[in-house]
């Protein structure tokens, strides 16, 4: 085990090395490990499951094609999420002229979904709709920063690397997103 690395990073390094040796089952392990995170991030950026699925597939194809360029001394997850953000953005650009993005459950797919009691189902649905609409109404940079920081668990520094911006810009985006979310329709819900 390399000093200063996590078990996840060591698993990724081994899977990358095996994939580069031609062992496709090792690449499938990477896909299985990261598919949900990539899909959830793509959903939040594209606004619908169909485009997110396309962006997810494109992400893993791009990773596979460029795996030889990956530095195994760096963590794979931020590298992969950078690809995912770029693929999702490309998908949005392609779809912008074709059709309006759907606002469905995909925007908050990454949020846990504990089964509510039957009497709370309607209220929970309304709140999820409020959150979905509020996230969808944020400008792309604010929404992407929120997804990476709050839903994907990246630090501000990691999110900045993924979004190809500065850590300060991510912090500003998170602050502005919180301000917008707390002054909009979510204000009433969050204060209860």
pLDDT in tens, 79-103: 999 999 999 999 888 877 554 434 3
What band does 12 get if pLDDT is binned at 50, 70 and 90? very high
Q: Which pLDDT score is estimated for 182?
A: 82
Could you tell me which CATH class the domain 7-187 is placed in? Answer: mainly alpha
Contact (Cβ atoms closer than 8 angstroms) between residue 92 and residue 101:
yes
Q: Which pLDDT score is estimated for 114?
A: 43
Number of neighbouring beta carbons within 10 Å of residue 107: 29
Q: Buried (b) or exposed (e) across 150-188, using 16+ Cβ within 10 A? A: ebbebebebbbbbbebeeebbbebbeebeeebeeeebee
What's 105's DSSP letter?
Answer: G
- Can you tell me the mean pLDDT for 140-164? 88
Q: Which of 100, 96, 104, 124 is nearest to 112 (CA)?
A: 124
The proportion of the chain whose per-residue pLDDT surpasses 90, expressed as a percent, equals: 46
Contact (Cβ atoms closer than 8 angstroms) between residue 136 and residue 103:
yes
- Can you tell me the mean pLDDT for 32-46? 91
Contact (Cβ atoms closer than 8 angstroms) between residue 85 and residue 43:
no
Q: Which pLDDT score is estimated for 1?
A: 46
Domain locations in the chain as residue ranges: 7-187
Q: Which pLDDT score is estimated for 178?
A: 87
């Amino acid at each position: 085990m390399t000093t200063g690395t996590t078990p996840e990073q060591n698993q990724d390094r081994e899977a990358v090395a095996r994939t580069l040796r031609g062992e496709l089952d090792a690449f499938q392990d990477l896909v299985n490990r990261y598919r949900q995170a990539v899909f959830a991030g793509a959903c939040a950026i594209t606004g619908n499951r169909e485009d997110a699925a396309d962006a997810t597939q494109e992400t893993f194809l791009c990773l596979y094609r460029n795996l030889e360029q990956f530095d195994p001394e760096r963590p794979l997850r931020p590298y992969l999420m950078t690809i995912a953000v770029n693929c999702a953005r490309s998908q949005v650009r392609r779809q912008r002229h074709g059709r309006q993005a759907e606002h469905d459950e995909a925007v908050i797919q990454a949020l846990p979904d504990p089964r509510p009691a039957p009497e709370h189902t309607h209220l929970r649905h309304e709140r999820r709709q409020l959150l979905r609409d509020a996230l969808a109404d944020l400008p792309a940079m604010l929404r992407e920063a929120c997804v990476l920081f709050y839903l994907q668990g990246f630090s501000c520094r990691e999110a900045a690397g993924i979004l190809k911006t500065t850590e300060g810009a991510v912090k500003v985006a998170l602050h502005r997103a919180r301000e917008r979310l707390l002054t909009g329709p979510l204000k009433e819900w969050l204060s209860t």
